[in-house]
Structures are given as structure tokens and as C-alpha cells.
Structure 1
Amino acid sequence: MFRSFALGAAFAIVLSGQALADPPTTILNASYDVSRELFVAINKAFIPKYKADTGKDLTIKQSHGGSSAQARAVIEGLDADVVTLNQITDIEKLAESNLVSKDWQKEFPNNASPFYSFPSFLVRAGNPKNIKNWDDLVRDDVKVIFPNPKTSGNARYTYLAAFAFAKQAYGNDDAKATAFVKKLFDNVPVFDNGGRAATTSFVQREQGDVLVTFESETRGIAKEFGTDKVQVVTPPVSLLAEFPVAIVNKVVDARGSREIAKSYLDFLYSTDGQRVLAENGNRVNDPAVAAEFKNQFPQIQLLKVEDVFGSWDKVQKDHFASGALLDQIYGKR
């Protein structure tokens, strides 16, 4: 009897060890606010491919919010296996907290940014205020909608794009660029926490004359609500917005999900993944897929953070650090 009990206990330990060795069947993607529909489409394409490749079922859970708020949530304990955010500085904060690799930009192609976009405009049908460029957004008769740059990476890109436009327009005069951005902020009636809330304010609550958000979002809104309600306006110049991704080492090592997490992010770079990204209004780096969708994307001059501001580290120090220029412009709103 004792021998049977011992054998049974040993068998249970073996089964327990095998269960612990089995990879999880779910992963969590913490992403920026307006990427909900995009990653629903990505997941729909990836999950059957993963099943065909491995024979295993997989569930991908999504968490969405302002990019900077999502980074803070992961730092505070959100067990995301991967992050797909919209600002390099947000993932840098995770690296500083030892949650992602210090050299995370070397772990995937294109500095770990599988697709890109830029701040663009969405106006009322017929463009009644004749909004065409960034300087139209500081007119006294124009009200602008975009989210809170303290919580939203989307809004931080709007801030930087406006600043970059003004630097170009005013001969690199930082004082005039600062005054330009302050006037833009004065034209914002309400700062929502994230990009999707700002979209709701503009489209459903009919606040403002123009919504500033990523081009991918403007295209998605126009498709959903129709050109009889809204109209996309692509400014002649804007700021390149890359969408960085990373594996959260602390989580995947604890859960045994690293292989799944890497496969998921690798898929974003595959031909199928790039095509899903392009179909959802994002610009991609794969030459063949980019050529396939070329006619859908207007030409635009895209300025780069590194060229306008020096580096992302300098942007963080000069604009986004506590007490820096963004705090001075944003004030106590």
C-alpha cells in the first residue's frame, strides 16, 4: 500500500512538472489607445497561423489606453507579455525599470518598429473651415481636438509635429515655435485621456472643427462613419510616428511565454502581417506590400524627431521631463 501511494505521489509530481513545462495558452498585448481594431485584425490572422505551425490553440488578450499610461501600468504590475506602443520614450521607461531589454531596439527590425504613421487631420464633411495645414489650427475660429499629451503618446506626437512645423516655418526659432504650440493648446476645448476618447468627442459629441490623430485612425473613422460626416485632410508636412514593440522579459520568463511572444511580434514583420497593417491604414516598410498599397497613401514630407530635435533622449529632457517645456505650455489645465 505504501509502495502504491509512493508511486502515485511520484506520478503526480511528474504530471505537475509537465504542466509547469507546458507553455501558456494566452498572452496579453498592452497597446496604445486607438489600436483596438488593428490588433483584432492582427490576432485574427496570427492565431490560425500559430495553430497551423504548432498545433496549439492560443488566446491573445488586449489591453488598451494612452501609450504612456500603458507603460506605467506595466511598470506597476500589468502582466503584459508584449507591448506595442506608439512612442520610443514609453518603452525606454520599461527598459529603465528592467522590464524589457536595454537593447530592445536591436531585437526586431527597423529599430523594433514594424509600421509607422504620423499626425493627420479629420474635419467635418466638406471641410467648412478650409483646414489644410498646421497653421490653420491656430486660427481664432478653429477648435482642435486631441488627447492629453501627459497621458497619450498620440497627443505627444501632435505636440511634437506642431512644434516641428513651427520650427520649419519660423526659421528654427524656438521661441516662436513655443508660442505657436501654446496657441494651439489654447484652441483645444477639452483634453481627453486617450486617442479613442478624443475621437468620441469629435465624432459623436461633435466637439471641435478638427481632430488631430494618427493617419491610420483618420482613415478608419472616415471608413466607419462615412464621408458624408467626416473628411480626411493630409497636411503637406508632419512628423514620422514609429510604433515600437518589445517583449516584457519579466513576464514571459515567469510565464514561459517567450516563444509565443516572439512569434507574435515577428508576425508583424511578415508579409501577411504587413498586409494586415496596411489594410488598417498604417504605412509599412516591406517594399512589396508598400508598393501594393501605394495609391492609398498620399505623399507627404515626414520630418524625423532626430533631425528636428536631436534625439529622443533630448526630447525627453527638453520637452517631456517634469517641469520641461510641455509642462510649461500645458500649465494647470
Structure 2
Amino acid sequence: MKAFNSKSNTTSTKKLSQFTGLGITAITLGLVGCGGSNSDANTAAKTEVEATTSETNNASSAEGNIELLNVSYDVARDFYKDYNPKFIEHYKAEHPEANITIKQSHGGSSKQALSVANGLQADVATMNQGSDIELLEEKGLVANDWEQQFPDHAVPFTSTIVFLVRKDNPKAITGWEDLTKDGLEIVMANPKVTGNGRYAFLGAYGYGLHKFNNDETKTNELVKGILDNVKVYENGGRAATTTFAQRNIGDVLITFENESNLAKNKFAQGQVDIVYPDYSIKSESPVAIVNTVTEKKGTTDAAKAYLDYLWSEPAQQLAADLYLRPSVQAVLEKNADKLPPVETFRPADVFGTWGEIMPKYFADGGVFDELTKK
């Protein structure tokens, strides 16, 4: 297999993940490369944590002070760094006596879920695939009815997989089949360890099943042709963006719509374009309260308020501003100019539950491994 796993580029990653305080306190307690590090994500000390606080000198043990840790996937940092101060303002208006601090931890979604499963004291988990929350449910950390605790099956916003290409699309990429062209170089997150990569793989596979009327042989041929062109499998979605946009590796980046727009408008402005395939996958970003932690800390009500506010108009509009697709239909329709209609499919409707998807496609010896064999 010609692809390689690049090591984290700390300087580039720092540049992409700067935290702008917006008049609040920002505290960095440790640093890893947005899921692109090879260090063990199960070790809390190696997880990046950023804090947004309503006061400059809060002591979490003091009466009236609340501290929440949101453990999330790597490319969600841009949403939550802006969401947290909005929530704090809202919460303070309803609880004037409270001083609340929100800490963020970001990395590859599945690594983050494993960190929580192995003891990272998250109050809430905001992931990018259902299997990561299901893992915490299986461990007894999250309630069995977590999907019913919030609207839209606890998915406040979605995204879809698109292609980021070089300016003016010199390789003439228009859809999934173009990704099999000879000599094309693709960058994507590693499906073995990241939700971003799994959605990319399943997007290609779902397209093949759709085009070939569920013929798995023809679908395998198509997807193998795409995977043969992958030059870099990165360990996280943001690391893949860094590799493509700042290190200038590859002709195409397969990634989420919101990440592509962030690269186009900020990281690589004027250097890249976005191509929408005519059929793609809907990626869902579920959220849940980590009850075993919140019950111990006494933060369950604050954690629920933090997640409830994701469905508020300000939060939904913030999602749209960052090219995430709001689950509140009225807000989505209001932003149709920046979030064009796309024909998408839900993974569960094509592949079954994540409990069925993971062993079949991404376990050792699964479909992904078979299609990347030489």
C-alpha cells in the first residue's frame, strides 16, 4: 500500500487550531496535534484541553462555581470555542450566582471516546459518530436512553462528505468515480481510527452500492480504485486538512463539508475549491451526558443545559455560519445559500447499526483492510 501515515506537524496544527479568547480566559493544559499525534489518546495528560470561563479567577471547589469538560472530536473545536461563550452568557442570565467554566478536549473522535471510557472525566461527550457514544453506553457511563434525552436523536447538526481540490480543479474532479483516475493523489483521515475517515470510506462505498444497484463486487472495485490513490492516511480530520492545505500534499482531500469550507475561507484562502459529489453520506454528530461523572460532581443539570442550548437559534445559526447543517429545519432553510441541497444517505439506512458497521468494515481483516491489500 503506497499510503503513509504522516506524523503530526505541531507548528501547522497550532496555526490551524488557535484559540481566540473573545474577551475570556483561555488556558491550555496540554497539547496534541488534533488527533494527528501518535501519542496514546487514553492518557488524559496528553489530551488538549482549552478552557472558557465566565470569570478570570474561578476555583472549581468554591460554592457556586461549576466546571464542565466537553470531550469532543478534533474539527469541532472551531464550533465549540465560539459556542462556549454564548452558552456561558445564556447560563449566567438564568443563574446569576454561578461562575461556570467550560473546558474542551479535542482529538480523533474514537480516541476521545476511549479516553473517556478509560477515565477522562468528561461531563459531556460530543462526538462525530454514534458508535463512540454507544461505547460509553456499553461501559455504563452514558444512559441507555441518551438518544431520547435530546431532539433529533441527540444530533444537533450534521455534515456531509465532499472533496477539497486545488484552485480551479486542475484534475477535473466532479464525483466519486473521478477519484480513481491514474496518478491522482488523495489525502484522507484513517478509517481505522477516525470518524472522519469512516464517513469518507462509507460515503464512497454507499455511492457504489447506489450506482451499481447493491452489487458489492462492482462497488468493491470502485472503492479499491479510490483507495489505491490515497497517498496519506492521517490520524485525524484536522491533521488531514493540515497535510493538504498547509503542507500542499495531494490533489484531493476527502473530508467533511464544514472542514472544507473552513479550509477554503481561512486556512487556504484562494488556493482550493470545493466539489460536491451528487450523492454522499450524512454524518451525524451525537451528544450525550456522561452521567457517572456528572452525578459524582453534581453537574448533571448544568451539563444538560449545556447540551440543550445546542438546539437554540443562536447555536444553530453558529453551526450554519461554520458550515455545519443545523438540525432545526427553519435555520437550515434560512442558510440554503451556503449549505446547498445534497442528496445524502444515513449510514444506518444502508449499512445497519454502528455495531454492525464497525466489525464488518473497519475491524482487522474487514472490508477496508481487504480493499487496501496489494
Q: TM-score, normalised by structure 2?
A: 0.80
Matched, 1:293 2:335: yes
State the one-letter code of the partner of 2:80.
Answer: F
What letter is aligned with 1:38?
F
- In the alignment, does 2:169 pair up with 1:127? yes
Q: Deviations over 1:150-195 (max 9, x none)?
A: 1110110001000001111222111222232222222111211100
Which residue number corresponds to residue 344 of structure 2?
Answer: 302
Q: For residue 13 of structure 1, what is the aligned residue in structure 2? A: none
Select 1:152's aligned residue among 177, 194, 210.
194
Query: Is the Cα contact below 8 Å between 1:136 and 1:142 reproduced in 2?
Result: no
- Once the two structures are superposed, residues 11-67 of structure 1 have per-residue CA deviations (whole angstroms, 9 ceiling, x without a partner) of xxxxxxxx9794652111111111111111111211111111101221111111111
Name the CA distance, whole Å, in 2 between partners of 1:44 and 1:223. 23
Percent identity over the alignment? 43
Match of 2:249 among 207, 224, 238: 207
Q: Deviations over 1:46-102 (max 9, x none)?
A: 111111110122111111111111111111111111011000111111111111112
Distance 2:202 2:212 in 1: 15
Equivalent residue, structure 2, for 1:98? 140
Shift in Å at residue 330 of structure 1?
4.4
Distance 2:152 2:369 in 1: 31
Select the structure that is richer in helix.
1
Are 2:228 and 1:186 equivalent residues in the alignment?
yes
Which residue of the other structure, out of 358, 361, 368, is the alignment partner of 1:316? 358
Q: Residues 122 and 258 (structure 1 numbering): CA distance in 2 closer, same or farther, change over 3 Å? A: same
Q: Partners in 1 of 2:142 and 2:351 — Cα distance?
A: 25
* Alignment counterpart, residue 277 of structure 2, candidates 235, 248, 255: 235
Measure, in 2, the Cα distance between the counterparts of 1:268 and 1:141: 43
Q: 1:9: which partner in 2?
A: none
Does 2:84 correspond to 1:43?
Answer: yes
Q: 1:168 to 1:24 in 2, by over 3 A?
A: same
Report if the CA contact (8 A) 1:85-1:91 is conserved.
Answer: yes
Structure 2 counterpart of 1:64, one-letter code: H
2:118: which partner in 1?
Answer: 76
From 138, 158, 181, the counterpart of 2:180? 138
Give the unaligned 5+ runs of structure 1.
Answer: 1-18
Q: After superposition, give the CA deviation of every residue in 1:243-302 in whole Å (9 maximum; x if it has no partner).
A: 100001111111111111101100101111111111111111213212221121122110
Structure 2 residues without counterparts, runs of 5 or longer: 1-59
CA contact (8 A) 2:228 2:372 kept: no
Question: Is the radius of gyration larger for structure 1 or structure 2?
Answer: 1
Residue matched to 2:287: 245
Partner of 1:33: 74
Range that drifts further, 306-315 or 39-48: 306-315
Q: Secondary structure at the match of 1:274?
A: helix
Q: Which amino acid aligns with 1:51?
A: K
Residue number in structure 2 paired with 1:118: 160
Report the AA paired with residue 168 of structure 1. H
Q: Secondary structure of 1:58's partner?
A: strand
Corresponding residue of 1:166: 208
Assess if the C-alpha contact under 8 Å between 1:113 and 1:243 holds in 2. yes
Match of 2:316 in 1: 274
The separation in 2 between residues aligned to 1:295 and 1:205, in whole angstroms, is 31
CA distance in 2, matches of 1:133, 1:320: 24
Alpha-carbon distance change, 181 to 23 in structure 1, aligned in 2, over 3 angstroms: farther
Distance between the aligned counterparts of 1:33 and 1:69, measured in 2? 10
Contact 1:32 1:86 in 2 (8 A): yes
**1:22 & 1:179 partners in 2: Cα distance?**
62
How far, CA to CA, are the matches of 1:96 and 1:303 in structure 2? 26
Contact 2:142 2:289 in 1 (8 A): yes
Query: Is residue 53 of structure 1 aligned with residue 94 of structure 2?
Result: yes
Letter of the aligned partner of 1:84 in structure 2? Answer: T
Native 8 Å contact 2:162 2:260 kept in 1:
yes
For residues 130 and 91 of structure 1, the distance between their equivalents in structure 2, rounded to whole angstroms, comes to 38
Determine helix, strand or coil for the equivalent of 2:191.
coil
1:233 Cα deviation from its structure 2 partner: 1.3
Q: Residue type matched to 1:52 in 2?
A: A
Task: Write the distance in 1 (CA, Å) between the matches of 2:258 and 2:315.
Answer: 16
RMSD: 1.8
Equivalent position to 2:240, from 198, 203, 223: 198
Deviations 1:99-145 (A, max 9, x none): 11122111111111010011111111111101111111111121111
Which of 292-301 and 126-135 deviates more? 292-301
1:256 maps to a residue whose letter is G
